[in-house]
Structure 1
């Protein structure tokens, strides 16, 4: 995929990354220094470097932080197979795995610093919502079945007879 060409097609860029070009650029302002810090001291495998890397190798296939962020966002948005991502960016499947792991760690740090990571704890969510100015929220969730209690007598107490599971 050609990052530079796709930047000129805002609708396609949005479809591939879930971000408008301006939003991508804003995220890039924090991602670039975070990635450079990580890359300076760590390999793609996450191991500490013996010697500090002062710059990216000139033969790198994905050159520049903007291309790496674009690579990661397209990978996350499309939930693609690593083989597909490898073919799209001209790298090996093993390299896709290494890059995705390293870049995702850096992106999570950036999103955490901006306070944009999703809340995973109910108590923390309640605390955040208590201070929110708008009291009405939309919830997008998936209804899942509850595992059946193995105790036969407890099953009778829990059964509401309201819904039958669909096969």
Structure 2
């Protein structure tokens, strides 16, 4: 994927990353230094480097923090097979695995510092929602069919005549 040409197509960029270019750039302001700091002292496998890396290798396929963030966001958004992501970016599947793991750790640190990580505890969620300035929230759910009762009289009571489903 060509990151620079996709930036020029806002709708496609949004579809691939879930972010507009300005939002991406804002996130990049925190992600880039965090990634460079992490990469300086750690390998992609997560082990501590014997000597700090002073800069990225000249032959890096995904050169630059912006391309790495784009790589990670497209990976997370599309939930692609690692082989597909590897083919899209011209790297090996093993490299996708190592990069995704390392980059996701850094992104989670950045999102935690910004207070943007998802809440995993119901009590904390209730507290955050109580303090939220806008009390109205949207819920995005999937409509599912409900199994009908086998008893004819019970069916008549439950039937609302809405959204008749054909088999």
TM-score normalised by the chain length of structure 1: 0.83
> Paired residue for 1:39?
39
> Paired residue for 1:27?
27
Give the unaligned 5+ runs of structure 1.
Answer: 144-161, 163-167
Give how far 1:131 is off. Answer: 1.1
> Paired residue for 1:11?
11
Q: Secondary structure at the match of 2:105?
A: helix
Give how far 1:76 is off. Answer: 0.4
* Most deviating of 3-12 and 61-70: 3-12
Q: Structure 2 matches for 1:8-157, cutoff 5 A? A: 8-141=8-141
> Paired residue for 1:157?
none
Give how far 1:135 is off. Answer: 2.3
Give how far 1:142 is off. Answer: 6.5
Give how far 1:134 is off. Answer: 2.1
Give how far 1:27 is off. Answer: 0.4
Give how far 1:141 is off. Answer: 5.0
Give the unaligned 5+ runs of structure 2.
Answer: 144-157, 159-167
Alignment RMSD (CA, Å): 1.6
Number of aligned residue pairs: give it.
Answer: 145
Q: Secondary structure at the match of 2:103?
A: helix
1:29-56 per-position Cα deviation (integer Å, ceiling 9, x unaligned): 0000000010000000000000000100
